[in-house]
Structure 1
């Protein structure tokens, strides 16, 4: 896990060869939908493992079949809320919840309009109540312009103030991170890699295309 010096509380996993290998497969235009979905699940699982390294732990006394000893419990792992941004984050959430199995899950349906306005439409919101002990993880594979996540984070704020507020994604553009940090300076951002820039259509470069379309198939024209 690497801290990015351009912002406070922004981290990437560029130092993990295995995570980079998964990302390489996701970037490849020849990767089919099934393999793409499986890749997102794997990333969610391994990023979840990495995330637990940043959580509070406590020492507990246990008894083995032979004697008493001390063990470790990741206590924050028992107070997690995962907010899944439909539809691309579904496989990512599936991986996360394999590690954070106690998590309560919220769902937000949000879609970004076309350039240059990138208007955000939210059609469905179901978020559990958030307590001061909770770590809230907002899962969205692509942090591009930041518009979608800013709107989602504002909505999350209506349900309580957590101990930690985290955005977790696969790829991010510097422009999107900067916008999110301007609005929410205390939010932590964890991504596989921070890419170079956005193009005029708001896609991350070099990126991996539209994560939702690649995971679930492109929508029918006219719908």
Structure 2
């Protein structure tokens, strides 16, 4: 895990050959939907391990079958809320819950419109109540313009004031990170890599294409989504 010195609280995984290999497979246009989904699950799981390195823990005295010894308990690992941004983040969430098995799960359906407005349409919101001891992890594969995540972060703030808020993604563009950090400087961002730039359509370059389409093999049709907003 490497701190990106351009921003406070932004980390990449470029020091991990394994994660860079998985990222290479995701970028490859020849990788099919099955391989793409499996790659996102792998990234979610191993990036979860990296997040644990930044969490607080307590020492614990235990007894083995032979004698007493010292161990630890990562207390923060038991106080996690994972917010899944539909739809491409579902495999990322699957990987994360293998590490944070006690996590409470929230779902947000947010779709970014076309350039140049990049308006965000939020069709479904279901977020559990957030406690002050919680670490909130917002999973969204692509941090491009930052428009979607800014709207999601605004919603998350309505449900409580957690100990930490982490945005976890596969790739990010500098423009998106800067926008998020300007409005939410306290938010931490963990990505495998920060790419070069955005194109005029708001896609990350060199990127990996549309993560949702590549994950599920078809474009999302907004007309099929329910118009729901839940606050319970």
TM class, shorter-length:
over 0.9
Match of 1:129 in 2: 129
1:86 aligns with 2:90: no
2:203 corresponds in structure 1 to 203
| Moved >6 Å (runs of 4+) | 220-223
Residues in 2 aligned to 1:131 and 1:95: alpha-carbon distance in whole angstroms = 23
Q: Secondary structure at the match of 1:38?
A: helix
Unpaired runs of 5+ residues, structure 2, are 224-232
User: Cα–Cα, structure 1 residues 69 and 138, in superposed 2: closer, same or farther, change >3 Å?
Assistant: same
Contact 2:127 2:156 in 1 (8 A): yes
Write the distance in 1 (CA, Å) between the matches of 2:222 and 2:107.
Answer: 26
Matched residue, 1:138: 138
Mapping 1:92-103, distance limit 5 Å: 92-103=92-103
The equivalences for 1:42-61 within 5 A come to 42-61=42-61
* 2:183 equivalent in structure 1: 183
CA separation of 1:52 and 1:4: change in aligned 2, threshold 3 A: same
2:133–2:162: 8 Å Cα contact kept in structure 1?
A: yes
Mapped to 2, the partners of 1:219 and 1:110 lie a distance apart of 14
Residue aligned with 1:175, SS? helix
2:218 aligns to what SS in structure 1? coil
Partner of 2:226: none
d(CA) in 1 for partners of 2:147 and 2:114? Answer: 12
Measured in 1, the distance between the counterparts of 2:214 and 2:55 equals 32
1:44-86 residue CA offsets vs partner (Å, 9 max, x unmatched): 0000011100000110011000111110111100000000000
Distance in 2, matches of 1:82 and 1:137, equals: 5
Q: Pairwise mapping of residues 1-223 of structure 1 onto structure 2 (< 5 A)?
A: 1-219=1-219
Unaligned runs of 5+ in 1: none
What is the TM-score of this pair, normalised by structure 2?
Answer: 0.95
Tell me if the contact between 2:213 and 2:220 (Cα under 8 Å) persists in the aligned partners. Answer: no
**3-state SS of 2:98 partner:** helix
SS in 2 for 1:159: coil
Structure 1 CA distance for aligned equivalents of residues 3 and 221 of structure 2? 41
Could you tell me whether the CA contact under 8 Å between 2:212 and 2:219 is conserved in 1? no
Does structure 1 retain, via aligned residues, the 8 Å contact 2:80–2:136? Answer: yes
Report the count of equivalent residues.
Answer: 223
Deviation at 1:219, TM superposition (A): 2.3
Query: How far apart, in 1, do the equivalents of 2:2 and 2:201 lie?
Result: 29
Closer/same/farther in 2, CA of residues 220 and 20 from structure 1, 3 Å limit: closer
